[in-house]
Structure 1
Amino acid sequence: MNRFVLVCTMATGLALGPVAATGWAAQQHAAVSAPRAAHPVGEVVSDAPLNVRQRPTVYSGTVKVLRPGQRVLLNCQQRGGWVDGNPLWYRLQGSHGWVSARFVHNHQPVRAC
């Protein structure tokens, strides 16, 4: 069976030519074989330093501060205190703190906590 698969793969490669290396087939292979990030990446989009809170509310204590443009790993999201019309908060990976989704752009979907 392995020889059959090899022959079919080679025949397909010859038939598709360069499309297999750069076109739809390569994108499909890359999507299947590329490892997914363990945690989505977020980017701070505030103009000022962003407080990382102990709990998902602005009334909670500050754990640390993130600078504008800084990238962080997002563990999960949940509803919390509203910030400029946005009730979502992201729990950060590693620091065990929360940031308002109003000031962090998620580059991938974030799972619920």
Structure 2
Amino acid sequence: MVKKALLTYALAAGVLIGPMGTAGWAAEGRAQADARPVGVVETRAPLNVREKPTVYSDVVKKLHPHERVLLSCQKRGGWVDGNPVWYRLHGSKGWVSARYVHNLQPVRPC
């Protein structure tokens, strides 16, 4: 009877803590916090990456159609085909119009 009770408690603790222990949960939380939303360029021609979130800003580089990019955050800027949202690219100083980039995950505001 005691062995059965100990086995039950051990199994319950394993379910509560999980197979990786509590350190696994912390590591998983950090990985999710470090993960950046991904976007896909939805154009037929190269997409201009702008210095600021407006079409009047200088072009700093171009992205290819169907290219996957990491997005840092989103912000309202100049309107492009009825869409005022712009995405800041992760790892570069540049903005792309959300009109031409499909976000695969939610993007936090800047």
Same fold per TM (> 0.5)? yes
What is the identity, as a one-letter code, of the residue corresponding to 2:38?
Answer: V
What 5-or-longer segments of structure 1 have no aligned partner? Answer: 13-32
SS at the partner of 2:39?
strand
Q: CA 1:89–1:3 in 2, change beyond 3 Å: closer, same or farther? A: same
CA distance in 2 between counterparts of 1:6 and 1:39 reads: 37
1:66-85 to 2 correspondence within 5 Å? Answer: 66-85=63-82
Which deviates more, 37-46 or 102-111? 37-46
What 5-or-longer segments of structure 2 have no aligned partner? Answer: 1-5, 16-27
Q: CA 1:5–1:66 in 2, change beyond 3 Å: closer, same or farther? A: farther
Tell me the TM-score normalized by structure 2. Answer: 0.74
Partner of 1:105: 102
Tell me the TM-score normalized by structure 1. Answer: 0.72
- Aligned-pair RMSD on alpha carbons? 2.3
CA distance in 2 between counterparts of 1:79 and 1:112 reads: 9
CA distance in 2 between counterparts of 1:5 and 1:40 reads: 40
Paired residues, number: 91
1:3-52: CA deviation from partner (whole Å, max 9, x where unpaired)? 65423368x8xxxxxxxxxxxxxxxxxxxx58426210000001110000
